[in-house]
């Protein structure tokens, strides 16, 4: 029968145990002192009930070897010694002793991390990961609990990555199981062959092996929780562990702004696009490295501006899957507002942004003056991914690119005004392939519906499309609100009459009729997408008209 570790016990003939620092699923960490040098260390011991588990023992050995392979890094906890205690019949690791607390404890204690501090922490994390990945080591279990905020010089916090025990070396990945890690942060490639097959049936690609992209996936989720102090796994909206892979593989990517709820303003305006690339099912479409991912987000964090005017450098490389504005809702009646995953075909890659209040090169001095006056950030070309999240639209035609866009802060939410190109060869042939759309993230929007004015826009293609749509819509679409006066001007569809009434309450209907609104509105939980047929140009007058209608619409919402 093996001995039991307790205070005063000497492990490996050289480490005297002093007090417990913490316990995990596989190990207990003690504060210990080296009997010869008096150096205080953190001593990690396999739990007594697991000492006979070969897999656990192998993880301890791997952690010691992995540390040596990666080399020293200020942001990776240093493994000083390793061995097997004969009396305990258990392996141990001696690591540098850190003073501080894990990131998850900090978030629970203080709430969201300040953006400037978050930028520093993410850069430190990227530094550690890039060095590990360069050595062919993938962590595979990144989470706030494994990121330790240690007190450094002058009281400044230094991030330390803990627990490389389940890390994998590149040359052994193909022979190893991938289903290892904490479920809320595990990438799709860690789910196993069954989910790869399910994704393939849906036309999606999931890698068969873990890689550096596996840690990029977790990094995206960590950044979301760091900035919002959301609970572990909150991004997915799952209530049970069994739901997680379903949310990840079979449902559209949720909007970070919707998941953040009343803390959405703490996120940069381009966070949805950024995290969408971190969380792409296809590893080849994620950021190429942790450093690249962090570099794309940090500028926005350091601007210190509200979410609506903060901009980050749009990611380079292939287009990520666009984030959905809300998770699918069961539809009780037809016709329903469809919400599915966004198409994967990439449009032109967006160019880098300009600072808020800056403008693109344009011969139109009025547009430049308008941007300065509004404090808007102009982009040319813009980022189509937030719009792709809404496809397929119910009334709005399919959008494929954004030629120009303006991002600014409205009184009720972050607004993006985009000159969007329509993916329709017939519209292109008759020069009706550009629309001005407004995407607004607003917590007031809590229900789903689609609305279109019955008056023709005057375009040839719009008239044809209206005729075909009239044949597709059931009678419920025209009487769904039971408001004859309103439905004399607009056609509406929603998952049910009840949701239509909640999405478009009487005050909102009154505003639209009084304003003579002529266009399309697509509503989802947490956001609204609006286009105005008689304000179709990307010029100050049209932009102001769209802003005015959007503000009046949202102000009328209860």
Q: Left if phi > 0, otherwise alpha if psi is -120 to 50, otherwise beta: which for 521?
A: beta
Helix ranges (H only) for 22-83 are 54-70
Nearest Cα to Cα of residue 510 among 537, 543, 485 = 485
Judge contact between 122 and 297, C-beta under 8 A: yes
Instruction: Name the H helices within 202-303.
Output: 212-228, 243-249, 256-260, 271-278, 290-303
Look at the alpha carbons of 248, 252, 256, 262 in this order and tell me if their dihedral is positive or negative. Answer: negative
State residue 480 phi and psi, 5-degree precision: -70, -30
192 Cβ contact list (under 8 Å, min separation 6): 177, 178, 179
* Cα–Cα distance for residue pair 325/414, rounded to 1 Å: 14
Beta bridge partners of 42: 31, 95
CA distances from 531 to 65, 391, 488, 518 (A): 58, 15, 20, 9
Measuring CA to CA, which residue among 414, 266, 268, 421 is closest to residue 353? 268
User: Which residue do the tokens 């570790």 mark?
Assistant: 5
Taking the C-alpha atoms of residue 293 and residue 315, their distance in angstroms, rounded to an integer, is 8
Q: Catalytic one among 130, 141, 163, 215?
A: 141
State the Cα–Cα distance between residues 261 and 275, nearest whole angstrom: 16
Torsions phi, psi for 119 (to 5 deg): -60, -45
Secondary structure of 402-449 in HEC code, one letter for each residue = EEEEEEEEECCEEEEEEEEEECCHHHHHCCCCEEEEEEEECCCCCCCE
Q: Is 163 a catalytic residue?
A: no
Helix (H) or strand (E) holding 506: helix 506-515
Q: At what angle do helices 271-278 and 290-303 cross, to 10 degrees?
A: 170
Spatial contact of 34 and 15, defined as CB atoms under 8 Å apart: yes
The catalytic residue positions are 141
């Amino acid at each position: 029968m093996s001995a039991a570790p307790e205070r005063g016990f000497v492990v490996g003939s050289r480490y005297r145990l002093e007090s417990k620092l913490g316990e995990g699923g596989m190990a207990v960490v003690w504060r210990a002192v080296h009997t010869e040098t008096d150096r205080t260390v953190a001593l990690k011991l396999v739990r007594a009930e697991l000492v006979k588990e070969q897999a656990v023992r192998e993880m301890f050995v791997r952690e010691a070897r992995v540390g040596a392979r990666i080399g020293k890094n200020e942001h990776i906890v240093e493994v000083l010694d390793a061995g097997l205690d004969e009396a305990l019949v258990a392996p141990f690791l001696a690591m540098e002793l850190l003073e501080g607390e894990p990131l998850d404890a900090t978030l629970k204690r203080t709430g969201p991390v300040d953006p400037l501090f978050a930028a520093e922490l993410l850069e430190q994390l990227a530094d550690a990961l890039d060095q590990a990945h360069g050595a062919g080591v993938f962590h595979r279990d990144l989470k706030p609990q494994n990121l330790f905020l240690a007190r450094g010089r002058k009281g400044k916090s230094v991030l330390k990555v803990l627990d490389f025990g389940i890390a994998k070396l590149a040359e052994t990945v193909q022979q190893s199981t991938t289903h290892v890690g904490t479920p809320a942060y595990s990438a799709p490639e860690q789910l196993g062959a069954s989910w790869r097959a399910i994704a393939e049936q849906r036309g999606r690609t999931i890698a068969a092996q873990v890689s550096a992209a596996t840690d990029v996936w977790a990094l995206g989720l960590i950044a979301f929780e760091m900035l919002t102090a959301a609970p572990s796994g909150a991004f997915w909206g799952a209530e049970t562990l069994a739901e997680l892979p379903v949310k990840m593989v079979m449902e559209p990517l949720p909007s970070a702004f919707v998941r953040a709820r009343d803390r959405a303003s703490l996120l940069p305006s381009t966070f949805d696009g950024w995290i969408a690339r971190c969380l792409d099912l296809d590893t080849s479409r994620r950021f190429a490295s942790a450093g690249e991912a962090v570099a794309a987000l940090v500028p926005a964090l350091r601007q210190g501006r509200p979410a609506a005017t903060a901009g980050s450098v749009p990611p380079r490389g292939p287009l990520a899957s666009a984030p959905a504005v809300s998770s699918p809702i069961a539809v009780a009646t037809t016709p329903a507002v469809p919400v599915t995953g966004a198409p994967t075909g990439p449009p032109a890659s967006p160019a880098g942004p300009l600072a808020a209040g800056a403008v693109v090169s344009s011969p139109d001095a009025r547009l430049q003056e308008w941007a300065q006056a509004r404090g808007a950030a102009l982009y040319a070309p813009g980022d189509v991914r937030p719009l792709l999240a809404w496809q397929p639209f119910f009334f709005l035609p399919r959008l494929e690119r954004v030629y120009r866009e303006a991002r600014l802060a409205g009184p009720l939410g972050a607004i993006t005004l985009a000159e969007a190109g329509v993916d329709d060869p017939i519209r292109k042939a008759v020069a009706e392939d550009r629309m001005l759309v407004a995407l607004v993230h607003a917590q007031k929007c809590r229900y789903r519906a689609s609305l279109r004015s019955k008056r023709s826009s005057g375009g040839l293609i719009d008239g044809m499309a209206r005729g075909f749509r009239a044949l597709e819509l059931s009678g419920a679409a025209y009487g769904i609100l039971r408001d004859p006066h309103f439905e004399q001007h607009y056609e509406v569809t929603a998952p049910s009459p009840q949701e239509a009434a909640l999405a478009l309450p009487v005050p909102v209907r009154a505003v639209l009729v009084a304003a003579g609104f002529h266009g399309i509105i697509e509503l989802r939980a947490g956001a609204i997408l609006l286009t105005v047929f008689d304000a179709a140009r990307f010029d100050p007058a049209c932009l102001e008209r769209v802003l005015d209608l959007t503000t009046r619409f949202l102000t009328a919402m209860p």
